[in-house]
Structure 1
Amino acid sequence: MKIGIMAAGGVGAYYGGVLAEAGRDVWLVARGPNLEALQREGLKITSVGSGERVVEVQAGSPADAGVCDLILFCVKRYATEQAVQGMLPMLGPDTIILTVQNGVDATERLQDELPPEYRGNVLWGLTYIVSHTEGPGAVNQLDGPRQIVFGEGAGGDNERGRSVQEALDVEGIDSVFSEYVHRNLWNKFMFINGLAGMTAVTHSTLGALKSTPEAWAMLNRVVDEVEALGRASGIELDGERENVMAYLGRLGPDTRSSLAVDTLQGNRLEVDSLHGTVGRIGRELGIETPACDFIYAVLKAQDPGR
């Protein structure tokens, strides 16, 4: 199976690198200094789980990659439209597109941007990983289980999903083909809004939040608000909140979300697809979300893309 990584940022570079290391036929889409470094020196991977090494990778433009059997769609939500237009040379009638973007509506927004003939090719997905780029041609995986969870929108088991799980089944990736992907997505939505919002708005690490009762209580309120929306949307979430808090408890004290890193670096922020979406769904359902609304307002004012 030929795999395209759209694109080689903090998440895509890590997953593309370990797939290439395992001998998979992988193309990393990149440009500028990042592309030059990947082509000249390979990809430097630093991983809390597997150490440091340099992996030889195939990297280039979507046209260089050509039609792929599977595309791992990893771009920030605000870049979806541009990325879809760019990756058209990678699409064929049977190309499977697996998105691991943040947000419970990421798949629907991706489908909206795709030409109609490819909208049925998309698998719903998410990932649990803390990974950031560290300059051109380098990625640092700092924490998290390095897990990709995906499934069909209608649920259930099928050959397409099993083929993707087999392709992603390499050392360094925990690949899970789920029959209940919407439940998984709301689990991640609780987690990411809590961690990302609070580490970004406070400019602090997860350890600082845990040691500050007021901040930790605020994070819990964020998780509660998202859980309430999921339940009101008809998602079965029994036990999911407990799983989210247990996962946060296992992460290291120095953990920051990519949203927090982007805030500190003055980059464009993915806040509309996180806390902005919480507020929108809340208004649609008639459920108040004051903690998420506050985080959204503070971060939106700092977003260069506002």
Structure 2
Amino acid sequence: MKVCIYGAGAIGGYLGAQLAGAGAEVSLVARGAHLEAMQTNGLKLLINGEERVNRVRATDDPRELGPQDYVIIALKGHSVPGVVDRIRPLIGDDTAIVTAVNGVPYWYFYKHGGALENRTLATIDPGGRQWEVLKPERALGCIVYPATEVVAPGVIQHIYGDKFPIGEPSGEITPRVTALSQMMEKGGLRAPVMTNIRDELWLKLWGNLCFNPISALTHATLDIIAADPGTRAVSRSMMLEAQAVAEKLGITFRVDVERRINGAGAVGAHKTSMLQDLERDRPMEIDPLVSAVQEMAQMLELPTPTLDVVLALVRQRAAMAGLGDILAVPPVTAADLVPAQKVAAH
């Protein structure tokens, strides 16, 4: 089984190491010092108190690798549109594209049924490029639950978790999803095949869409957001708005809002990925986690007032930090400007 991990960072490197240990023919696409270290010293995984070194092929040029059986995209969701054409050489007639990304994936409305069947989302797939090049029929969903970290170039520290639920958008149990699950299980990962992968996707997204932007705005950790009455109320309101969207799309939540918030709080003094990115001057996952939900709500003509406010604020926070443009704001025209003599002093 040929598997390319596109984006061999913390999660991608962990996946690559475990699959290589299971006997898969693994290749990694990475860049910079991390890539150089893996090419020189191998991919090192620190797990269960030991260091494992995996000698796998690593490159920054996918053209060197050729078509794969599986391409696992382990990038931040907002980075995927920019690498679509670079992924193209990895795709053969039977290649499966596994979206191990947070948030809403490009294939979401493929095999969905209903009025939104085969719709694309401009917030995550501008111009429909992922849909066109990667193609939705190649897609397998993958939900990422483990926590890992790149502690040095070429070195991945496993912190906790080993679960990666996977599934076909159609809910079918196909040979390709079964084979991938078996290889992942052989590599020490839990990869249950889901017949309702969107339900699992929403369960994780449900918390991410509120805790992430709130943490970026307040710099608070999960325990504080969940315990503080004000931020807990904002989180709850955003989650209820998102729940209305999801349920109209046929999603079933197996836990209620309070339990989901309590579960996040129980994680403790953890910084969300969005806060970590902000502190490291990296673009934040605003569109896959929040904007996409707003876009879905607009398609369904459902109100999301709290989500809209938080989204506007975190977009501006990103723009003021130089990490992205302020989106969805119409340009100011001369007619919008107040003449200087009419502006009162304060």
Residue 121 in 1 paired to residue 119 in 2? no
User: Which amino acid in structure 2 is aligned with residue 195 of structure 1?
Assistant: F
User: Which amino acid in structure 1 is aligned with residue 12 of structure 2?
Assistant: G
- Compared with structure 1, are the counterparts of its residues 240 and 301 closer, same or farther at alpha carbon in structure 2 (3 Å cutoff)? same
Residue 305 in 1 paired to residue 321 in 2? no
2:43 corresponds to: 43
Match of 2:180 among 148, 153, 164: 164
1:190 corresponds to: 206
Residue 265 in 1 paired to residue 280 in 2? yes
Q: Percent identity?
A: 26
1:19 corresponds to: 19
Match of 1:55 among 49, 53, 76: 53
2:153 corresponds to: 136
Q: CA deviation at 1:178?
A: 0.4
Residue 88 in 1 paired to residue 88 in 2? yes
TM-score, L = length of structure 1: 0.88
User: Which amino acid in structure 2 is aligned with residue 3 of structure 1?
Assistant: V
1:93–1:118 Cα contact (<8 Å) kept:
no
1:84–1:114 Cα contact (<8 Å) kept:
no
Deviations 1:159-209 (A, max 9, x none): 221111112114542212101112112212202213322322221211222
Deviations 1:55-80 (A, max 9, x none): 22321131233221111111122221
* Distance in 2 of aligned mates of 1:87 and 1:93: 14
- Compared with structure 1, are the counterparts of its residues 246 and 52 closer, same or farther at alpha carbon in structure 2 (3 Å cutoff)? farther
* Distance in 2 of aligned mates of 1:64 and 1:24: 18
Residue 154 in 1 paired to residue 183 in 2? no
* Distance in 1 of aligned mates of 2:54 and 2:278: 32
The gaps in structure 2 that reach 5 residues or longer are 109-123, 326-346
1:124–1:153 Cα contact (<8 Å) kept:
yes
User: Which amino acid in structure 2 is aligned with residue 45 of structure 1?
Assistant: L
What are the residue-to-residue correspondences of 1:216-235 with 2, within 5 Å? 216-235=232-251
User: Which amino acid in structure 2 is aligned with residue 257 of structure 1?
Assistant: T
2:211–2:225 Cα contact (<8 Å) kept:
no
Based on CA coordinates, which of the two structures has the bigger radius of gyration?
A: 2
Q: CA deviation at 1:105?
A: 4.0
2:222–2:271 Cα contact (<8 Å) kept:
yes
The alignment of Structure 1 onto Structure 2 pairs a total of residues equal to: 302
Query: Greater CA deviation, 152-161 or 125-134?
Result: 125-134
What are the residue-to-residue correspondences of 1:1-16 with 2, within 5 Å? 1-16=1-16
Query: Greater CA deviation, 286-295 or 272-281?
Result: 286-295
* Distance in 1 of aligned mates of 2:151 and 2:89: 28
TM-score, L = length of structure 2: 0.78
